[in-house]
A and B are shown apart, each in its own frame.
Chain A
Amino acid sequence: MKEQLPALLIVVPLVTALLSPLVAYFSTRLLRGLHLTALATSFACAVGTLIHALTEGTWHYRFGDWAPPWGIEYVIDPLSGVMAVLISLISVLVLLYAGPFLAEEGWLKKGIYYALYTLLTTGLLGMVITGDVFNLYVFLEISSLAAYALIASGGYKATVAAFRYVLIGTIGASLYLLGVGYLYAVTGSLNMADLAEKLQPLLAANSQAVLIAVLLIMVGMGIKMALFPLHGWLPDAYTYTSPAAIPFISGVMTKVMIYVLLRYCFFIFGAMNGVLPAVLEIVGWLAAAGIILASVMAIAQTDFRRMLAYSSVAQIGYIALGMAIGNYYGLIGAVLHILNHAVMKSCLFLVAGGVKWKTGEHAIAKYAEISRRMPVTMGVFLLGALSMIGIPPTAGFFSKWYLILGALDNQQWLYIVVIIVSSLLNAVYFFRVIEQAYLRKAEGEAKPEETLASVEIAIKNRGPELPYVMLVPIVVLGAGILLLGVCNNVIVTNILHYALPGGGL
């Protein structure tokens, strides 16, 4: 059984997703139990494979026992292992949290929601552990299609946003596929390790076909990960989506895309080869511009989710900046920020959803006095906000620490300035919410209960601040922010040190 862990990691959620509508027809309780179990199994498999990769070296799993480069292999090294753990963990927590949002829906909607959600997880997990570039495309489309549909579930505005996302996302995916075509044309291989080997002489010789492939893949993934200025699809998609899905999509999906880019740049092409330094330089400048502009945009927002969406664009810039810095510390900063931001942003969207569930509000202006009614949730929000600003000892500070260290090493002063300025901009828009939630009094004479849309919500107000299935994921991720910060060294020296070029690979 143990030697099949990498396959189970993918197959268990995939099969569960396909069974989902059928199970839903018989029992929606069983449906929920089944999916939670499946994703938890996936999480256990991910942890198992990561431990294996750390103790016994990179795990090459041949699918159907076909030897690479002809067959498809799954490769779990410390980097993909840690990504798989991250994806499956957040997936379980958000699914747990989603329960109350779906309580009123019929069996069919529930079945479809669970199926899509689990498919999304499957696709993302597949993307990080596959060792084959075309297989990656397939998983990319599985996850994207699931995400399109999930985003559309948020209402009519979300449907329009989702349609736009389909168009733009498909351009991205097509560009990526075209890039893969070029790589295949010049090397005759689709296996990542094999490609890495065969591309070296071509990159050194500045082959035009490879150059085009690099650009196509960069732009394609740039769209998918919402790298400025290719981020246009993201704010609408994140704003209108159902709160039951967005914490997962926002936290993990763009991070997986940037992980793919990181794989290509540093494991397949090699950051020092041919045109790559120039390309990374451009990525760095775009990231720097994106960090500042998106932060400014975030300040201008009145909707909490939209603010978080722009903040995501900025934070993705941090990761891209780390890649552009490209030395050991820069990459540690980038990967650590993938983890940190996934946890922070999921957590903040969970909070946003929680507030929505409790009060029906998303406007920051309506957050007055919310801290009294939801002390735990807003406490976690506080932690997330401080982490986004980068106050020690929260997680966000330490990614910043490594990024600055890396930028200093390369003497990229502008990047340091950008990181610092962005921290301060983050402080502006997060303290605006903090002021609202903690210090302002609710305006007008009307008591909060009277302004609520429906009686249901008034009933919700009597119990605990949120149902426990919602509160637990919020608190777990909140604790995660603190743990990732205080224990960042455990991750850096035990995992990332072995996972990144320049470390002890």
Chain B
Amino acid sequence: MQEFFTSYFIYWVIFLLFLLGPYGIIFKNNLIKKLMAMNVMQVAVILFFLVLGQKMGGEIPVEVPGLLGAGHYINPLPHALMLTAIVVSLATTGVSLALLLLVQKHYGVLEEDELLRRMNER
């Protein structure tokens, strides 16, 4: 598992995961699906940062008896940064869901083509 996370291969996975975002946002018709695509994209970025901190044989950055040199720990900073990014992604999702709720209530639909049609009617 560790080998996987420290190889170059993982970056390709993240890259694909990230591209799922714009793909879904552009090509999916359902607004919820668009939102989910956006979430996948954010997760990809978070994963990217976490993988940056990985290293072969690294320990979690908690003081453990016998392990003292900084070289033995994985980099904790990306994890700290990503805590913030997770909160941001949560907030974005929350706001989006609230917006979608309003849209659903008013227009009664979350399919984009149908929504546009109904918007133009009124």
Contacts and interface: CB of A to CB of B under 8 A. Distances in A.
Interface of A: 134, 137-138, 141, 145, 148-149, 152, 156-157, 159-160, 162-163, 166-168, 170-171, 174, 177-178, 181, 184-185
Contacts of A137: 85
Given A156-B107, A157-B119, A181 B45 contact: yes
B48 A141 contact: no
B85 A177 contact: yes
Interface in B55-95: 78, 81, 84-85, 88, 91-92, 95
B76 to A, nearest CB: 12
A167 B31 CA distance: 10
B16 interface: no
Given A145-B92, A148-B95, A174-B45, A163 B78 contact: no
12 contacts: A138-B88, A148-B99, A156-B107, A163-B99, A166-B38, A174-B18, A174-B21, A174-B42, A174-B44, A174-B45, A181-B52, A184-B78
A163 B115 CA distance: 13
Nearest to B94: A145
B99 A141 contact: no
A21 to B, nearest CB: 15
Interface in B2-44: 18, 21-22, 25, 31, 34-35, 38, 41-42, 44
B48 A181 contact: yes
B106 A156 contact: yes
Given A174-B21, A177-B45, A184-B52, A159 B102 contact: yes
B100 A163 contact: yes
B91 to A, nearest CB: 6
Nearest to B99: A163
Contacts, number: 76
B87 to A, nearest CB: 9
Contact of B25 (A156, A160, A167): A167
B44 to A, nearest CB: 8
Contacts of B31: 163
B102 A152 contact: yes
A162 B92 CA distance: 12
Nearest to A165: B99
Contacts of B96: 163, 166-167
Contacts of B85: 137, 177
Contacts of A156: 102-103, 106-107, 119
Nearest to A184: B52
A184 B49 CA distance: 9
A167 B45 contact: no
B77 to A, nearest CB: 8
Nearest to B88: A141
Nearest to B78: A184
Contact of B52 (A138, A148, A185): A185
Given A156-B106, A170-B92, A181-B45, 8 more contacts: A159-B99, A160-B119, A166-B96, A174-B21, A174-B45, A177-B45, A181-B49, A181-B78
B81 to A, nearest CB: 6
B45 A152 contact: no
A134 B82 CA distance: 10
Contacts of A159: 99, 102-103, 106
Contacts of A160: 103, 115, 119
Contacts of B106: 156, 159
B122 to A, nearest CB: 8
Contact of A170 (B42, B52, B84, B107): B42
Contacts of A168: 25
Contacts of A171: 21-22, 25, 38, 41
Contacts of A166: 38, 92, 95-96, 99
A145 B91 CA distance: 8
Contacts of B84: 134, 138
Given A159-B99, A163-B96, A141 B52 contact: no
B34 to A, nearest CB: 6
Contacts of A152: 99, 102
B36 to A, nearest CB: 11
B95 A149 contact: yes
B48 A178 contact: yes
A185 B54 CA distance: 11
Nearest to B39: A170
A468 B58 CA distance: 65
Contacts of A178: 18, 45, 48
B81 A167 contact: no
A300 to B, nearest CB: 18
Nearest to B22: A171
A91 B44 CA distance: 35
B99 A162 contact: yes
A184 B106 CA distance: 45
A461 B85 CA distance: 50
Most buried by A among B48, B52, B84, B92: B92
